[in-house]
Chains A and B, each alone.
Chain A
Amino acid sequence: MTSIHNDQRAIDSARAALTELREIAPSLVFASVVTDDGFEVVHVPDNSADSGRFASMTSSVQALGEAVTRELSIGSSGYVVIAAENGHVLQLRVPGHELIFAALFDTHETLGKALSSSRRCVERLAALLAEHNFQEPLGSSTHY
């Protein structure tokens, strides 16, 4: 059985959604779509280095965020923000899928605008996956 990160439908959909995001978000430095367990599906720009490590960290951060929301019984996790001096990292779950969107934006745009672009990106990705009739393999668990 093909793993999600090797599934061509998932790769093509994610690449298309991230490419569209680059066009509407000039402050985007890097973006990727990763599986819940930290495997990268695709990233932009293509020449960015060490994206595997970022994918693993994305997975851990998402899981910790969701563990905190479970522990505090505050509903499902909407997004995760890491705000730093020179940029912010945003993470969102792709609705209905075991996939996480993670992106680094520089500070030339507001966090709100970056979040709005990111939300649009994950919704677009979910729509593309639906068009491709993509579903995770049976038996895998979900956290959303």
Chain B
Amino acid sequence: MTVAEHVILFAGPMGAGKTTAIRTLSDIEMVTTEAANSERHVVDKATTTVALDYGEITVGDEEKVRLYGVPGQKRFDFMWTILKERAKGMVLLVNNDAPEPIALALDYLKDFSQLVENGCVVVGVSRRDINRLPTPDDYADAIADAYPDVLVPVFTVDPRNVDQMKTVLLTLVASLERDESTKELVQ
């Protein structure tokens, strides 16, 4: 039996919880490329991802999902280009305490627009315990305005919470399978 494999990206701004989310989900010890963070005045955390994070999770009996985290900073966008070519879907994590988080989310979606237009993106809003607003509905409305032909689910998430992250991931995997089924029907 062939084991289905998916490559999923975790993208979003520095401090949104991408590395933590992959660590939460991964069945294997994750591969990280953390470096000391020179921008602690921007985001107060000791380290930041400078190339990629990598983890794996098996969904059900047969589906292996490869989880790649990309650096959040725009100066590393060459890594986005490399990794998005392999990806079937993307979890966009946005920390709700970032300045203008909805505009930020839309910026990232634009950079990964092919995945968005394929309907293969889920948004997770983190740090809502710090900032309650905007709400997930606010994000969903703004995304629907920008991409009226696709549905992008939006969840509140704590990247440390395995159940929440699995819900996000399984929602995305279901979207990917629907997309693949549609393509098979068209062919």
Distance from B147 Cβ to chain A, minimum over Cβ atoms (Å): 29
A39 touching B51 in the complex, CB below 8 Å, given contacts A52-B75, A64-B33: no
Main secondary structure of the interface of B (DSSP, over half): loop
Q: Which residue in chain A gives the minimum CB-CB distance to B79?
A: A60
Given A67-B51, A140-B37, A141-B46: A56 in contact with B32 (beta carbons within 8 A): no
A56–B35 touching, CB < 8 Å = no
Give complex CA distance A98, B48 in Å.
13
From known contacts A38-B76, A60-B76, A141-B47, infer whether A67 and B33 are also in contact, taking CB-CB under 8 Å: yes
The 8 A CB mask of B87-125 against A (1 = contact, 0 = none) is: 000000000000000000000000000000000000000
Tell me if A12 is interfacial: C-beta within 8 Å of chain B: no
Contacts of A71 in B (CB 8 A): 31
* Residues of A contacting B46 in the complex (Cβ-Cβ under 8 angstroms): 139-141
Determine which residue in A5, A59, A61 has the highest number of CB atoms from chain B within 10 A of its CB, and name it: A59
Question: Which residue of B35, B47, B52 is within 8 Å of A59 (Cβ)?
Answer: B35
Q: Which residue of A lies closest to B29 (CB)?
A: A71
**Contact status A38-B32, CB under 8 Å:** no
Does A56 lie within 8 Å of B78, measured CB to CB? yes
Tell me the complex Cα distance, A139–B45, Å. Answer: 9
Which residues on A sit within 8 Å (CB–CB) of B57?
Answer: none
- Measured CB to CB, the nearest residue on chain B to A68 is B31
Q: How far is the CB of B83 from chain A (nearest CB, A)?
A: 11
The answer to the question of B50 belonging to the interface, with a C-beta cut-off of 8 Å to chain A, is yes
Interface set, chain B 38-57, CB cutoff 8 A to A: 38-41, 46-48, 50-52
B4 on the A face (CB < 8 A): no
> Which residues from A are CB-within-8-Å of B75?
38, 52-53, 55-56
Q: Which residues of B contact A52 (CB under 8 A)?
A: 75
Find the B residue at minimum CB distance from A59. Answer: B50
A37 to B48, CA, bound (A): 7
| CB of B150 within 8 Å of the partner chain | no
Given A1-B41, A60-B50, A98 contacting B36 (CB threshold 8 A): yes
Output the nearest chain B residue to A70 by Cβ-Cβ distance: B31
Contacts of A67 in B (CB 8 A): 31-33, 51
- On whether the beta carbons of B38 and A4 are closer than 8 Å, the reply is yes
* Interface residue A136 (Cβ < 8 Å from any Cβ of B): yes
Pick the contact of B36: A56, A60, A136 (CB < 8 A): A136
Determine the distance from Cα of A18 to Cα of B151 in the docked complex, in whole angstroms: 53
Q: Does B179 contact A (CB under 8 A)?
A: no
* Contact residues in B for A60 (Cβ distance below 8 Å): 33, 50-51, 71, 76, 78-79
8 A-B pairs with least C-beta separation: A63-B33, A36-B35, A140-B36, A60-B51, A37-B35, A3-B38, A56-B75, A59-B50
